[in-house]
Amino acid sequence: METALAICLGVGLAAACGFRVFIPLLAVSIAARFGYVTLAAGFQWMTGTPALVAFATATVLEVLAYYVPWLDHLLDTIATPAAVLAGMIVSASVLVDVPPFARWTVAIIAGGGAAAGVQGTTVLFRLKSAALTGGLGNPVIATIEWIGSAATAALAIVVPVACVTLLAVALAAVVLVSRRLLAGRRRAG
């Protein structure tokens, strides 16, 4: 049961990386430092002051950068691979009682996949917003994304199963809406 909770925690944190790369890393660093989360062997460095300062600084810079119109588009080019990597790292960091091979397998497939799925969806949403609003809606999207990242990370830490359940419902909704949009385009074309 503890392994299942750890996997839910890892997937939830990884999904949060899809919204913003550094917020979940900062959240797990703080949570582990204060004893709310146990880290796997080799990840204790995340509780240290240098890591905490680095994650906090990177979080502030990342959040602010998405409010600068040309910089947000530049960040989008590196955000997807960074989100996937962060998702893998943060999910591996919380898989405590899992053998290393299984830990990294879950981290790569579930953690990286969750981060990639959320990141891909947000990139498409941001592109659509930029096209419809001429970029004027981007600050609103940026705000929704960092709040979404913080809320998802907090929910993953506090109630991991509920977090993964909500993520599954959101995924189903995205798939359903995408199918309807594609079906409408086929009929129109």
Q: Which of 90, 87, 78, 85 is nearest to 31 (CA)?
A: 90
Which 3 state secondary structure label does DSSP give 174?
helix
pLDDT tens by residue, 88-112: 999 999 999 899 999 999 999 999 9
pLDDT digits (tens, 9 = 90+) for 19-64: 999 999 999 999 999 999 999 999 999 999 999 999 999 999 999 9
Nearest CA to 8 among 110, 113, 117, 115?
Answer: 110
Provide the pLDDT confidence category of residue 124 given band limits of 50, 70 and 90. confident
pLDDT at 9 over 70: yes
Rg of the chain taking only CA atoms, in angstroms: 17
Average pLDDT value for the chain: 91
Query: What is the domain count for the chain?
Result: 1
What is the structure's pLDDT at 134?
82
**Which residues, including other chains, have CB under 8 Å from residue 32's CB and lie 6 or more apart?**
38, 39, 46, 47
Contact 67, 139 (CB under 8 A): yes
